[in-house]
Chain A
Amino acid sequence: MAESRIAVRKTYKLYIGGAFPRSESGRSYVVSAADGTPFANAPRASRKDLRDAVRAARAAAAPWADRTAMNRGQILYRVAELMEGRRTQFIEEVGAAEGVRAPRAGTLVDRSIDRWVWYAGWADKIAQVLGSVNPVGAPYFNFTIPEPTGVVGIVAPETSSLLGFVSRVAPALAGGNVVVVLASESRPLPAVTLTEVLGTSDVPPGVVNLLTGLRRELVPVMAAHGDVDSLDTWGVPPELQESVEIAAAEDITRILRRPARVSDARFDWTDDRAAERPEWIAAHLEMKTVWHPIGI
């Protein structure tokens, strides 16, 4: 290889409704590698971008929820297949973003792929685990089925650029929801690369929408948005948590909080016991109970 070759750099973009736009605001911010070297410009999404993303998500919500559970599971598994094919690229990017050496980055990427597979398999089982037939004291057939809440807003973990991101997004999708995710502010790039995988997978446009940008700017807008049905606040900085929940209270948005006494920075995403939880699927589900008389 000739040493004089100049590498082709990538312009990182948002992912909204299956397309890869820059921010409508024309703004970007500098993302640095873990050692502080400026690395790339990431789009600094605006509130308008966020509203566009929610609109794209809403349009995709009903068709995604209406697919058969097995089909959703297959589509999610397909993402893992494609991630495996880009394993080397992910290892490089996670290593650069998080400042870890290749073996550690390799573990984080492998776990991300495996986690995706774990949640993919839940798609057609969660209804059986959480649903029920209820023995009411009268002649009625009475059953309870889980349904997706709709549009889930996710503030992804700040430190774990890929594994943390996958661990928050996959449970919402497995439950049949669509998502608008705010990537880690300081380490957004592996998530952006994941959207390139999603864009070429079978995940329908609008099911996952990714924004990069400043949390203090976007989180309050996401929390107050009337068309966000459920909110995963894992990556919300502690100083914003209260105001976010107050904003979400206005239209009774569901909230999935980071567990008490768990810090975002310290959480070990490679601990499968701690990070693979059907409760995180359940948090974005509604239970629908149906009554019908029994008789001839």
Chain B
Amino acid sequence: MGDGQAIPWEYAPAPESREVVKLRERYGLFIGGRWVSASDGETFQTIDPSTEEPLAEVARGTAADMDRAVRAARAAFRRRWGDLPGRERAKYLFRIARILQERSREFAVLESMDSGKPIRESRDVDVPLAAAHFWYYAGWADKLDYAFPGRVARPLGVAGQIIPWNFPLLMLAWKIAPAVAAGNTVVLKPASTTPLTALLFADVCQQADLPPGVVNIVPGPGDVGMALVRNPGVDKIAFTGSTEIGRRIAAGVAGSDKALTLELGGKAANIVFDDAPLDQAVEGIVNGIYFNQGEVCCAGSRLLVQESVAEALIGKLKDRLATIRVGDPLDKNTDVGAINSRAQLEKITELVAAGVAEGAELYQPACDLPDRGYFFRPTLFTNVAQSHRIAREEIFGPVLSVLTFRTPEEAVEKANNTPYGLSAGIWTDKGSRILAMVRRMKAGVVWANTFNRFDPTSPFGGYKESGYGREGGRHGLHAYVRLEDR
């Protein structure tokens, strides 16, 4: 094997059935507990990125619809939700967590159809974690008095939330669960390429008998999100997405009293020392950059290898890459599914071309890609310099840039030499070195001898231009409350 030779044996296809998902032809906006059309009647199509086939028509929200949703959320906050005893709010959240578990297959299949991510990941990561977030924050709803010593935690009011297309359901859970647990009501704008699981979630809210207006969902393009950001009826904005849009959102709330949290881009360094368990590190590196097609803000997109083991590690990585299976997201054997959109595929293609043009050495395994759909081969660049675009810009695709270092000081300097500071990885057998490196890394999440782990109890968020505020854990709850004196 090695050198990109195709593996000599094949798996039989193991496609997951789509039968469990009952797609509607047309989806409305979910406002005040009811399905409504967009104010101007416009719709847009959401497609399956692995086939480029349309999946459904979705109502396309307008600024007027955002206003309608914010008013519904405000009414729900005033009328009932904000004052509902935490004990009762908790029960609604527990119900939602249970319904997500009960309907997990349906959510997993729909998530993979709409986003292109492999069913293995939506089934084993996205959906269970989304349910776990509701479960975790359910228990906070009636324990807010214990969360912030010496302070009373009050809800902020109406939270406007804008989420990206890479983890549509999981990001919804990260946003809605803590907000609603703390007594806020929400207006959520899912990404325009992946609205379907959010709209199916509206169905879950109805099944749970969640009071109308507590959760409102308005799909639409970016300018509809900006309408939410600027809406004077909103008390808090939470955004996950690119740093570029994060800047515009921060400027959009300027001069207002709106609270703001931002989860933005990243260019994580995954640092491998010469005493690291290399085979384990290879799995971590693969998980770090090829998980979810690399469409992960905290992806380990810069591999920093200690020079003395670089050759051995890169050899192992290339061998491992040859076994990665790219293809049908609904096939249970698929490791890397479809890129979410044509636009994203073009961006990845452009940056990879820039890597080649700037002199980095390209390696891609010789696997077959499907004829239709947006697919990209797992890619590895060696001979990468710090100045290359592929070492500086967030690619948001399955593209790994390998750099080397000699001393821990050099590793720290290279790792921190980026405007981002979301995540980092360290691989070494030496515990004291891990702790020394952890202390010096400018990153909000540091994975030592592992990568891309998430948990509802574990705060997540960035330093520097990767944004501010944390999601997850008690810290994530803080983002949705105002602390008052006891």
Contact = CB atoms under 8 A, between A and B. Distances in A.
A2 interface: no
Given A138-B453, A279-B483, A289-B445, A242 B464 contact: no
11 contacts: A129-B149, A136-B457, A137-B457, A144-B459, A243-B254, A245-B253, A246-B255, A286-B444, A287-B459, A289-B444, A291-B448
Interface string B444-481: 11111110010101111101111110100111000000
A136 B254 contact: no
Contact of B132 (A137, A140, A249, A289): A137
Given A136-B457, A142-B455, A252 B255 contact: no
A291 B444 CA distance: 11
A248 interface: yes
Contacts of B34: none
Contacts of A142: 455, 457-458
Nearest to A258: B257
Contacts of B485: 273-274
A296 interface: no
A252 B247 contact: yes
B246 A252 contact: yes
Contacts of A254: 468
Nearest to B264: A252
A9 interface: no
What range describes how many residues of A lie at the interface?
A: 35 or more
Contact of A289 (B262, B450, B459, B467): B459
Nearest to B446: A290
A256 B363 CA distance: 46
A273 B474 CA distance: 24
A266 interface: no
A253 B444 CA distance: 15
Given A134-B473, A241-B254, 4 more contacts: A242-B254, A291-B447, A291-B453, A293-B450
Contacts of B483: 279
A288 B438 contact: yes
Contact of B457 (A135, A149, A243, A273): A135
A287 B465 contact: no
Contacts of A286: 444, 463
A71 interface: no
B386 interface: no
Interface in B246-283: 246-248, 250-251, 253-255, 257, 262, 264
B449 A292 contact: yes
From B243, B419, B464, residue with most partner A Cβ within 10 Å: B464
A244 B460 CA distance: 28
